[in-house]
Structure 1
């Protein structure tokens, strides 16, 4: 299901396409969405088919493209990709995209699978504290237990929000991580990478290096856990609003 809301101000209206990460859904944007609308923007969210074992990054990207075509929202489109959605965003083919913002996201490298690079991409704590607790369902989906989800993703949230978010976590097909990325080459266009400094899941050295080598930008460092859209939605909304003020004529950083 696609859910979208229009902002109330006509200018400088942009459409923010918000793409959730692994195990999450459109519900995770509930605090960020109204803050973007208050700044005059439109918001489009999607629920990726993460429980479909046959769906990979290309299928996720098609869901996003279909949502954009059906919604016909005004203004240029700013794609916001959180975590796993970093594997999806560069595959989106839509003429209205004016900037892509990666929020504590993993990034694809053409010709490789993320699973083959995981020792470089993920943190030591991820391997020591979180990965051993990752469960696999009889149907082949992976799922984080609530306590592990809170520690890995929602550490800056208030306890009530953290428990609510952990209760909403869905099963995740591993295909998007194990497949060779369908990305042949990085597309042109303005890019922003936001690194969350208190995120325990990703390797910050890799993030800084990947932002520079793959995106051609220096990361914006935000004091946050892995899910600033839940823990620090006002600060994230301000960063995203600032991003749309950038002239979309080349790759740049906030």
Structure 2
């Protein structure tokens, strides 16, 4: 039995992993979902990593899974506590010496759909945190989920502070632990071609592809559970 530490991406919370935890338990494993301080304007990737590390139950064996924006934080965790493996799920990847904002300016790490249909409709609150209108979030993150699931998830999103995006990553080098990247073939957020190249050059791995949207933990938790279990060291 392996314990999985599940880390949500931007705007989300522990609620998004409920069905994924059930799916992993059906396969004989356990999981904990981590609540990141995503709406805290003062929190950056190192603070996120501190929170993630505190959720590790079995140092040296737990598998840490980071979705989307959490990819900027999970490679910092092995410096805080030993883990069994890192899994980057439809994930952003840090580039030592640069911020994610600089990566955005230098290339197109996000999917074409994101630039054309989502980013122009993103909003900011009075603290400079990004927010999504529910109808945009439903199309961006959950387009292959049942309508009620998509609507419910979109309504639960919270503001995302710019800390992990604007800061130069505190990561100096990717940790020497087993690393995996899971990409989603119909992702409207992260570019598949960018993910494939970044996974090769930064993680030294090929992408493991699954069907579906940016949010397989809601659209296809059983499929994702099977992939995650295959990564157990």
Question: When the two structures are superposed, what TM-score results if normalisation uses the length of structure 2?
Answer: 0.95
Q: Does 1:84 align with 2:69?
A: yes
Conserved in 1, the CA contact under 8 Å of 2:89 and 2:182? yes
Of stretches 179-188 and 117-126 in structure 1, the one that deviates more from structure 2 is 117-126
The structural deviation recorded for 1:196 is 0.3
Asked whether the 8 Å contact 2:88–2:181 carries over to 1, the reply is: yes
Aligned residue in 1 for 2:153: 165
Q: 1:217 to 1:177 in 2, by over 3 A?
A: same
Question: Greater RCO between the two (CA within 8 Å, min separation 6)?
Answer: 2
In structure 2, relative to structure 1, the CA distance for the partners of 1:95 and 1:67 (3 Å cut) is: closer
The farther-off stretch of 56-65 and 94-103 is 94-103
Residues 20 and 83, structure 1, Cα contact 8 Å, conserved in 2 = yes
Considering only aligned residues, what root-mean-square deviation do their CA atoms show, in Å?
1.3
Corresponding residue for residue 24 of structure 2: 36
1:204 to partner: Cα distance: 1.4
Q: Deviations over 1:195-234 (max 9, x none)?
A: 1010111221111100100111110111110000000000
Residue 217 of structure 2 aligns to a residue whose secondary structure is helix
SS state at 1:120 partner:
coil
Task: Tell me how far 1:139 sits from its aligned partner.
Answer: 2.1
Correspondence for 2:91: 105
Q: Which residue of 2 aligns with 1:213?
A: 201
Please, which of 102, 108, 115 is the counterpart of residue 120 of structure 1?
108
Contact 2:111 2:187 in 1 (8 A): no
Report the CA distance between 1:94 and its aligned residue.
Answer: 4.5
1:203 matched to 2:191? The reply is yes
- 1:141 and 2:129 correspond: yes
Structure 1: runs of 5 or more not aligned: 1-12, 249-254
Give 1:15's aligned residue.
3
Structure 1 residue 67: Cα displacement: 2.4
When normalised by structure 1's length, the TM-score is: 0.87
Whether 1:190 and 2:175 are equivalent positions in the alignment is no
Give the secondary structure class of the aligned counterpart of 1:173. coil
Per the alignment, residue 226 of structure 1 pairs with 214
**Offset at residue 95 of structure 1 (A):** 4.2
C-alpha distance in 2, partners of 1:106/1:18? Answer: 15
Contact 2:60 2:84 in 1 (8 A): no
